[in-house]
Amino acid sequence: MRAEITSLMGLEVYTEKGVYVGRVEDALLDPEKKSVSGLALVKVNREFFDGRGRGIIIPFRWVLAVGDIVLMKHLKMRPSAQTRS
């Protein structure tokens, strides 16, 4: 999967099941491998990721496709979020 790093900025991230995860704010680079190793997300869906921080970092290996959005592997929701109605 090849894309300009700047084309990732600002893209919304969804799981393969269509659940919103967050928005790409930055990319983590691996200079030795000359590749992206992770994506820093903001405006994160708290039903997936609990935390008090401003955002999260997801490993780039979770990314399935990049286009108008970033598509990533679906993750199980946090147990407390699954029990909510």
pLDDT of residue 25: 96
**pLDDT at residue 5 in the model:** 80
Query: Where residue 12 sits, what CATH number does that domain have?
Result: 2.30.30.240
Query: Within 10 Å of residue 56's Cβ, how many Cβ atoms?
Result: 18
Residue type at 84 in one-letter notation: R
Range of 68's domain?
Answer: 5-82
In this prediction, residue 55 carries a pLDDT of 87
Domain total for the chain?
Answer: 1
pLDDT in tens, the chain (85 residues): 566 788 889 999 999 999 999 999 999 999 999 889 999 999 998 877 776 667 899 999 999 999 999 999 987 765 554 444 4
Rounded CA separation 84/72 (Å): 24
pTM for this predicted structure = 0.80
